[in-house]
Amino acid sequence: MINPSPKDLTIAGHKVHYAWVIVAVASLMRLSTSSFRSSQAILIPELVRTFGWSYGAVGGGFALQWVISGLAGPPAGWMGDRYGVRLTMVVGSVLFIVGMVLTGTMNHLWQFYLYFGVILSLAMGIFQVPLVTAVTLWFKKHLGFGMGLLQSSQGVGPLVAVPLIYLIVQTWGLRAAFWVPGIAGGVILLLLIRFFYNEPADLGLKPLGAEENEPIRSTQKGEVARVRSSVFLRQAQRTSAFWNLIGIHYWGCAGHSIILIFLVAMAEDRGVSPVLAAGLFIVLSVTSTLSRFGVPVIADRIGSKGVMAACFFLQTAPILILFFAHDAWMFYIFSALFGIGFGGEMTAFPIINRQYYGNAPIGTTYGWQMMGAGIGMASGAWLGGILRDITGDFNYTMGLSLGMSMLGVLSIFLLPATSRELLPHWEDALPSEGVARVIPGEIPVKP
């Protein structure tokens, strides 16, 4: 028996908090968007062959996409904090459909840059930032488990998307690889939005694991949301962690973007068949999915700083294998090892934000960090492609990835400990219009 009421959701006689539905919905949204974008790196050799563009030119399109999605991070987070995630995601869904469909019509490089590099990236900015931070609002306990489920969905995505895109290309051609997932994924997004709520207070609920005497507070609507977001952001920007986390995101993403975008091309360049080269993404996705789930759980329990450092190191060290890899099996070993560090490297960021800033409106703050990630992804894609064009092989490109990831490892050691909040009293600076509204009939806030 199932009671489908969001407030009183019951499955087989067991009451289920709607936070788990939010995680499921958000995970499906990530599957419908970012998984296809990350898997489209397997199309780079096909784009080069079909249109005659250089690796540097194609890498520039991916670089532009990451720059735009990164720059869209802060405003996307602000939109989610100010107007709610539900409305923001409607905008993102429409942009996703338009961007994917138009990319399938391209004939010139400038169209690839505009449709894929700009329009589609605006949608990615929305589904990378407010969607993730909104999920954290639903948990007081078990946030690591919930975030692990959400983040692992992005790792599972390529397991489906890589063979699907490869099959679409072989059956209907390159253009269909954008049209089919663009239209189907966009429709799925619009259907899922109706099951998503901005915060527990929208349903008269408390976050999962909240204390019995904790009131139900609404913080994501109207003037309250605007004031809380702006006051908190000003205080967060005075902490060193705010700026260092942006830099860490930059170095980590710059390092692994080179691998994600050029791994298939690297393998084909060393004589690996296109089919076996495409399979590298599947192996990488399997191991990264495991760490995407496990790392948030561990970070939530023991603190994020050490976990992030370990993941960054595991992303860095396996790159040494690439300098000696010529056979497919060596590339597959690399993919399995690299996937562990890559999968865990980014997934601890939502957790460390909650450990540093508690239940503050972190959408815009996380957006700034994702801006660093986007620019980092762009730097790796662009510089890696240029180095390949200049030198004729990927050796210097691999070295660049190794160096950037190592700088991320060193930057993590400058972070403060996660054992205490950095701004425990930030709400003391709120004017009266920024105080969270208590839902009528619930336990009042203690003075």
Average pLDDT over residues 93-114: 93
Question: Given this model, what pLDDT does residue 1 score?
Answer: 46
pLDDT band of residue 155 (cuts 50, 70, 90) is low
Tell me: the pLDDT tens digits for 353-404?
989 998 888 888 888 998 898 888 888 878 888 888 888 888 999 999 999 9
Question: Given this model, what pLDDT does residue 443 score?
Answer: 43
Residue 97 vs residue 279, higher pLDDT: 97
Question: Given this model, what pLDDT does residue 113 score?
Answer: 94
Total count of domains within the chain: 1
Tell me the CATH number at 89.
Answer: 1.20.1250.20
Q: Answer yes or no: is 96 within a domain.
A: yes
pLDDT band of residue 444 (cuts 50, 70, 90) is very low
26 sits in the region (left: phi over 0; alpha: psi -120 to 50; else beta) called: alpha
| Pairwise CA distance, residues 403 & 24, whole Å | 37
Q: Answer yes or no: is 444 within a domain.
A: no
Residue pointed to by tokens 């400058």: 414
Residue 297, domain extent: 17-200+221-418
Q: Answer yes or no: is 216 within a domain.
A: no
pLDDT of residue 240 exceeding 60, the answer is yes
Q: Answer yes or no: is 101 within a domain.
A: yes
Average pLDDT over residues 90-118: 93
Average pLDDT over residues 89-105: 92
**Top-ranked range on mean pLDDT: pick from 83-87, 117-121, 215-219:** 117-121
What does the DSSP 8-state code read for residue 440?
Answer: T
| Pairwise CA distance, residues 102 & 337, whole Å | 36
Average pLDDT over residues 222-245: 86
| Pairwise CA distance, residues 364 & 81, whole Å | 7
pLDDT band of residue 262 (cuts 50, 70, 90) is confident
Please give the share of the chain, as a percent, with pLDDT higher than 70. 90
Tell me: the pLDDT tens digits for 157-191?
666 777 788 888 888 988 888 898 889 888 999 99
Q: Answer yes or no: is 431 within a domain.
A: no
Q: How far is CA 235 from CA 130, 232, 291, 361, in A?
A: 20, 5, 32, 12
Residue 62 vs residue 242, higher pLDDT: 242
Among 80-94, 139-153, 209-223, 262-276, the minimum mean pLDDT is found in: 209-223
Q: Answer yes or no: is 11 within a domain.
A: no
Among 58-67, 102-111, 220-229, 352-361, the minimum mean pLDDT is found in: 220-229
| Pairwise CA distance, residues 148 & 293, whole Å | 4
Question: Given this model, what pLDDT does residue 441 score?
Answer: 47
Compute and round to an integer the Cα radius of gyration of the chain: 22
Q: Answer yes or no: is 355 within a domain.
A: yes
Q: How far is CA 279 from CA 127, 186, 258, in A?
A: 26, 26, 17
pLDDT of residue 139 exceeding 50, the answer is yes
Residue 63 vs residue 393, higher pLDDT: 393
Average pLDDT over residues 37-47: 71
pLDDT of residue 207 exceeding 50, the answer is yes
Residue type, 158: P
Q: Answer yes or no: is 3 within a domain.
A: no
The helix (H) or strand (E) run that includes residue 3 is: strand 2-3
Cα angle vertex 204, ends 88, 424, to 5°?
Answer: 75
Dihedral angle computed from the Cα positions of residues 265, 268, 272 and 276, in that order, rounded to the nearest 10 degrees = 50
Among 83-92, 126-135, 230-239, the minimum mean pLDDT is found in: 126-135
